[in-house]
Structures are given as structure tokens and as C-alpha cells.
Structure 1
């Protein structure tokens, strides 16, 4: 007697459905922001229905929060995988600067999601334990890197890891979010391979001069 193959556990189906919804929502929110995003488009792209979206995420606002949490978790997880503690301080810092630049270049939706979150004064992540935890780990990682550099005499003491991270993020963030106006104002194409390489070299040099003993 033939037996029917076992059905996949319902929990795996639920996880797969939520993953599809989050992926579709990320595209929609990064393109149109929270206000312009449409749940019916998210449902269509996720091959789900609106009722299912609201079952898992309660509201469009809650879905936006989950997308933001995933976005911050993704970049923070990737940073942890750089294994900076295995490298000499200067090499480790350069790797972090280059990683941040390349992450923004390859993940433009991250920048637009952050822009959208700031338009709403970060209310969707203000109480997020996920964002708090991954951000704390990142600041600790940068702090330990700076401490190692001070111990070897390569970095000056007293550098706040939060301020350093803001600077590393800002010099890449501004470049990419203003690439269209910048190309007109400065009369050069800021997105050619040559321009991008020139800029990341400038960024690395700027950060190294900032921290050097």
C-alpha cells in the first residue's frame, strides 16, 4: 500500500510566506517610502493576499518596522563577518571603511529605507530591541578596534566609536544620496568606476588621518 509523502510542516510554510512578504515589502518601501507604498502591490509580488499580510504583520506600519529591523540586522551581521579582530588595527579599519562604501553601493535600497525612516523621525525603530542589540554589538566592535590601535600606538586615544561610525557612514551616505545633484553641481559623473575608486581612496585617507596618533 502506497503512503502519501509527508506534508511540510506548517511552520516552514509560514516562515517562507513571511520571507516573501518581507522581500516584496523591502522593494516597495525602498521605492515609494512608507506613505507611497501599497499593500496590494506587496501582496501581489509576494504571491500572498492582504489578509495574510495583516495576519502576520498587523499593519503596514508594523510591516515597515520589520523591514527596517531586517535592513539594520543585515548590515550589522555583515560587519560582524569581517573578522576585524583578526587584522592589524589600520588594516581592519580600512576594511570597515571599504565595506561600508561597497555595501551602500550594492544595496541602494538600504539608503532609501533609512531616508524614509528619518522622514518619520525614526518612530518605527525607536523602541526596537532588534535594532538596539545589533547596533550595540557594532559600536562595541568598533570600540575594541580603536582600543587595539591605541595599544599599538597607531591610533590616538579618546576617539568615540559612535562619532567615528557616523563619519564613516556619512562620507559614503552623502555621496550616494546626492550623486545626481552632485554630478550636475560639480560637473562630473560621480558614478563612473574611476570616480568611485577616487572617492573610496579619499574616504580611506580621510578616516586614517582622523584616527592616526
Structure 2
């Protein structure tokens, strides 16, 4: 009597495929969740809709994330992780303080322009009083390289005599982010009120230049 066994290489290959398939399904659910929560908020989003967009069985949501809240929390963590990774790619060492500050302000503006889902998720989370972000240990420890770079650029500018000394990095970040955030979160109503297409490429470029100049002028001695 002869017996056959699966060669170790084939068994390992099958295991790897299962792991890749599992990771792909999880990633697909997170991507679909970001879109669904951004469009409808936490209250309006539906797990079956998310699973349908992801092309997976609804039960996988509960398998990977336990419940809707767990999926929402991972979606929030994912969008914050994405912006943190992009922040790390900024290289300011070879720039003077004015140029570096322009780069930081422009980065903040560009990210919001390119990621409307981030604005929608933040708006909904603020409506929820930040309750889900507060529940995330990962988000609490997800340190922002942007603040460190902003603080270092401020210090260099003060030392060079081109920036005022009384600003701190956190307050400056809130101000510069707020100027851009309001523009994008209220773009449709602002366009209607002023009779302009403020989402047109030319309007975005004009606004970007304005925001950079606005921040730099506020920092000048």
C-alpha cells in the first residue's frame, strides 16, 4: 500500500496563498469602509453595504473586526496612518526656514485636496465628539512627525530672524490646518454663495498660494 503526501513546498505555497487572500479581504473591507463611512457617517453606514463593495462575505467583518464599531475604528486608524506615512516622506533639512514652512503649509493643503474622505471622516468623528478616536490606543500613540518638523522649522526661523518667537507648533498647526480645512469642508456652500467654482483647478491653486502667504505673513517679525 502506498501513501502520498503533499510536498512541503506545495503546502507552504497554499498557506501563503491563504494568508494573502486573508490580508486582501481585510484590506478590501477597510478600503470599502473608509468610503462608506465618509459618505454616510458612522450612523448611516451599513455593514452589508461595506461587505458588498469589498466583494466579501458579510461575516468576515465580524471575523476581522468584531462589529461595526471595530471596523470604523480601524478605518479611522488607517486614514491617520496614511497621512503619518506621507509626513515622514517630507525632507526639509536642505531648505531654509521660509521654504520649509511653505512646504509644510502646502503639504497640509494638498493632503486635504487629495483626500476628501479624510475631511468627511473627521467631520463625522467631531459630530460624535471624538468618542471613537478616544477609544483607540493606537491613535493616541500615533505621534505626528509633522508637529516635530513644524517645531524645528519654527525654531530655525526664529534663530534666523525671519519668524516671530511667540508661536508654538501645536497652535500654529491648528491655525494652518483650519484655514485649509474650512475651505474644503465648506467648498460647495462657498461656491454657491460667491458664485464661483471653488473646486476648479485654478481656484485651488489660487487658494493654495493664499494660504501659504497668509501663514508666512503671520509669522514674520
- 2:76 paired with 1:68: yes
- 2:128 paired with 1:128: no
The answer for the alignment partner of 2:104 in structure 1 is 96
Deviation at residue 192 of structure 1 after TM alignment: 2.0
* TM-score of the two chains, using structure 2 as the length reference: 0.89
* TM-score of the two chains, using structure 1 as the length reference: 0.92
- 2:14 paired with 1:7: yes
Structure 1: tracts of 5 or more residues without a match: none
Deviation at residue 30 of structure 1 after TM alignment: 0.8
The answer for the alignment partner of 1:156 in structure 2 is 164
* Preserved CA contact (<8 Å) 1:79 1:96: no
The answer for the alignment partner of 1:210 in structure 2 is 218
The answer for the alignment partner of 2:62 in structure 1 is 54
Runs of 4+ deviating beyond 4 Å: 1-4
Deviation at residue 136 of structure 1 after TM alignment: 4.3
- Which residue, out of 91, 94, 97, partners 1:86? 94
Q: CA RMSD in A?
A: 1.9
The answer for the alignment partner of 1:172 in structure 2 is 180
Residues 136, 198 of structure 1: alpha-carbon distance in 2 compared, 3 angstrom cutoff: closer
Deviation at residue 159 of structure 1 after TM alignment: 1.1
From the CA coordinates, give the structure whose radius of gyration is larger.
2
Q: How many residues align?
A: 213
Structure 2: tracts of 5 or more residues without a match: none
